[in-house]
Amino acid sequence: MKPLVSVIVPNYNYARTLELCLSALERQTYRNLEVIVVDDRSTDDSVAVAHRHGVRVVVTDTNIGAPAARNLGAGHARGEILFFLDSDLALAGDVVEHAVELLTTDHTLGVVCGTYDPEPLIPDSLVERYRSLQLHYWISGDEGEISTIYSALFAMRAEVFREVGPLNPALRHSENAEYGHRVTQRYRIVLDNRIRGTHDHDDRLKVVLSKFFHRARLHIPLYLRRPGFNGGPANSSRGWGSLAALFAVLAAPLPALLGPAWLAVPLLLLAGSIAADLGMYRFVRRYAGLPFTLYFTTVHFLVNVTVAVAVFAGAAQCLFSSRFRRTYDLPAEV
């Protein structure tokens, strides 16, 4: 008999996308499913949407955040396999079937993760299209064995979840890194591009930059604790690209201070930043055309500067704050 899969959907005020998320689950080729929506005290009609689809609904007592909501859903799950899915994602029709096949045929796997389609679920802005293409390129390009999880879209056997333990509820921006670290002490994590969904990305630049800043800053304690966490050559190249972008900004006044010849310094740094992500820019050029690629490059330059600033901010916090250095220590209740 095919194993029961518990799909756990944490949700907070995403009624519009929750409708699409649950409809996509109803179209899955794998039928032995239970769906549990963990509503984190939404103020919209999310609970009504979930009830219309006939799924189990668990409502939190207070707003507890996505990691804790996933843990709560796992506590209510009956399935042999747990499939964690954010409410702003609509899965392709055969995704659960692929996840079950991977997890039941290879018991060295602790977690299987998926990727995002290149187009957003609900296109609202150019910023959202930037984020959609950027994440699609970055995540899909990492197909194979990885050292983190993508918490919006991952599956694992329930026995592995019990063994590894729940996600750290104190980490609302970086639980994926810490959880991946724990899983890889015992199991492999694999990214498979057949496990995919269409995601409703953030559509405001301020929100996108804020998330990049906080996630990069909060990852610094884990990088220091686990030097091999950088994810390999691709992430190292992106890191250098971010630093080059920041130093290009810092070097911009040099021509005015020291003469026109010094213009070469910020230009070379800018070129280095672009070269670090050249494959991504080529992908965007082929997919979306030159005009959008120019817009994409501008936004990504701002992202790179933000990430570099966040790295220095996180390093400073590690230097001066023992509490921040202990960010990835598990609280007693986990």
Q: What is the DSSP string of 49-82?
A: HHHHTT-EEEE-SS---HHHHHHHHHHH---SEE
**pLDDT for position 171:** 81
The structure's pTM equals 0.91
41 phi/psi in degrees, rounded to 5? 65, 50
Is 230 a residue whose pLDDT tops 90?
Answer: no
Q: Residue range 208-237: average pLDDT?
A: 74
Relative orientation angle of helices 233-251 and 264-276, to the nearest 10 degrees: 160
Ordered by start, the domain boundaries in the chain are 5-201, 229-325
CA distance 140 to 137: 5
Q: What is the pLDDT of residues 35-57, one digit of tens each?
A: 999 999 999 999 999 999 999 99
Give the amino acid at 186: R
Kindly list the distances between the CA atom of residue 86 and the CA atoms of 152, 200, 213, 298, in Å, as whole numbers in the listed order.
Answer: 5, 10, 21, 29
Pick the CATH number of 5-201 from 3.40.50.300, 3.90.550.10, 2.30.140.10, 3.30.70.60: 3.90.550.10
